[in-house]
Amino acid sequence: MSYSDQGHSGDMYRHAYDPYLQPELFRGVATRRVFAFLIDCLVITVPIVLGYIFIFVFGIITLSLGWMLFWLAWPASVIWAIVYYGACIGGPHSATLGMRVMDLELRTWYGAPGYFVLGAMHAVLFYVSVSFLTPFVVLVGLFNGRRRLLHDIILGTVVINTSVRSPIPQTARP
């Protein structure tokens, strides 16, 4: 067996997931990402709203002294979102709760699972890029086979459809 037969044909930067050889991994990913994002927004927003309500009630109880905590609420919200994405993508499923509900998984371009820093950077880069390039971030995903968005390309990640991993029974053909 030669060196080139072992998969080392000079293409040392080959992607683990090919949309032409494995189209099922990318089927419906763009639509599922939208719904996963909405679910994740809900998961992130509920504790933040509860925190604001707590601070408001605490301010009433303490005769407005507790309202000084409002200046901590926004930085705490940002930290919560970053930790949520980092912990979920760095976890065993390599997916946020919304991504798991929608059968999606984040992987590196070479197939490795996500890790905390990658998940945190994924969230930060997404929100920064959406702030400056709103429609273009989403449009990039419509024009490539892997359905990667701008922040996916920059970070070297790909989101795949995990529902195809479970074997689907095939009917016998006559």
Average pLDDT, the chain: 87
The percentage of the chain sitting over the pLDDT mark of 70, rounded to a whole number, equals 87
Which structure tokens are listed for 143?
A: 């024009």
- φ, ψ for residue 155 (rounded to 5)? -85, -10
pLDDT score for 7: 46
The residue that leads in pLDDT, 144 or 103, is 103
Q: How far apart are CA 20 and CA 145, in angstroms?
A: 8
Average pLDDT over residues 19-43: 93
- Work out the average pLDDT over 115-142: 89
Cβ neighbours, 10 Å, residue 60:
10
Write down the pLDDT at residue 145: 83
Q: Write out the two tokens for 40.
A: 């994740």
Helices 70-89 + 29-61 axis angle, to 10: 150
User: Residue 12: which pLDDT band, with cuts at 50, 70 and 90?
Assistant: low
User: What is this structure's pTM?
Assistant: 0.83
Q: With a cut of 80, say whether residue 4 has pLDDT above it.
A: no
The predicted pLDDT at position 166 comes to 54
